């Protein structure tokens, strides 16, 4: 079995050299021998997509999380467009997951524990429209679960949530250097996250 697995890795490596993929395609192709048809996708905006990627990559049943942009009017936006122009887009992650292992409700719970649902100006030290917290739904089933989670959290805190809920339209993967940033630039990422007091703020809200 080990020999077969090794040969499979070599084959995938040679295939990728001859057939370069986009950032999103690359992340979900390596190490995946199962059919993607059984997997589902979910879209969340929680401020900096680097941080959201890190959070979802730790979840059992999540195949990949890809940084990108969604919610706006500009086609094929670049990072500079989203941050400095009025494109309507927010930083989003696309989560590909196995519903037999982790449910959409579980993903919602992960989402809430990694954002400040009471900040309408952005998230943590990142302020502006592109850093707003948004949950995107693709169907009525997702929308019902989102609405239920809103009720539960607002009841718990006795406070209105300002996180937005938008109908999903299209997702644009971000530039390659944004993908897996928390792993590829660990020290710089850690300095950024600590400066933003992200973990400190989350503990105050949810603990």
Domain boundaries, the chain: 22-206
pLDDT tens track of the chain, all 207 residues? Answer: 433 334 334 434 443 444 444 455 445 444 444 566 789 999 999 999 999 999 999 999 999 999 999 999 999 999 999 999 999 999 999 999 999 999 999 999 999 999 999 999 999 999 999 999 999 999 999 999 999 999 999 999 999 999 999 999 999 999 999 999 999 999 999 999 999 999 999 999 999
The residues with which 97 forms a beta bridge, in sequence order, are 40, 62
Distance CA 47, CA 28 (A): 23
Dist CA 193 CA 180 (whole Å): 15
140, with CB counted inside 10 A (0-12, 13-18, 19+), is: exposed
Q: Residues 48, 51, 125, 196: which is the catalytic one?
A: 48
* Tokens standing for residue 90: 């927010």
Whole-model pTM: value is: 0.84
β-bridge pairing 133-137 and 164-167 = parallel
- Cross-strand bridge partners of residue 95: 42, 65
For the stretch 78-125, pLDDT in tens is 999 999 999 999 999 999 999 999 999 999 999 999 999 999 999 999
Q: Residue 106, class by beta-carbon neighbours within 10 Å (0-12 exposed, 13-18 middle, 19+ buried)?
A: middle
Known catalytic membership, residue 48: yes
Architecture of the CATH domain 22-206:
2-Layer Sandwich (3.30)
């Amino acid at each position: 079995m080990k020999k077969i697995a090794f040969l499979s890795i070599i084959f995938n490596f040679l295939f990728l050299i001859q057939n370069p993929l986009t950032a999103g395609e690359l992340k979900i192709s390596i190490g995946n021998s199962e059919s993607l048809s059984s997997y589902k996708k979910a879209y969340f905006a929680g401020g900096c997509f680097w941080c959201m990627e890190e959070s979802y990559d730790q979840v059992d049943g999540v195949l990949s999380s890809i940084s990108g942009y969604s919610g706006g009017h500009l086609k094929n936006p670049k990072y500079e467009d989203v941050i400095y122009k009025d494109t309507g887009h927010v930083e989003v992650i696309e989560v590909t997951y196995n519903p037999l292992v982790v449910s959409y409700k579980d993903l919602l719970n992960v989402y809430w524990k990694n954002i400040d649902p009471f900040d309408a100006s952005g998230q943590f030290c990142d302020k502006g429209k592109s850093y707003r917290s948004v949950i995107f739904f693709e169907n009525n089933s997702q929308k019902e679960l989102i609405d239920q989670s809103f009720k539960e959290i607002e009841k718990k805190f006795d406070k209105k949530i300002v996180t937005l809920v938008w109908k999903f339209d299209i997702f644009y993967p971000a530039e390659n250097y944004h993908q897996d940033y928390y792993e590829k630039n660990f020290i710089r990422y850690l300095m950024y996250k600590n400066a933003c007091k992200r973990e400190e703020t989350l503990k105050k809200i949810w603990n």
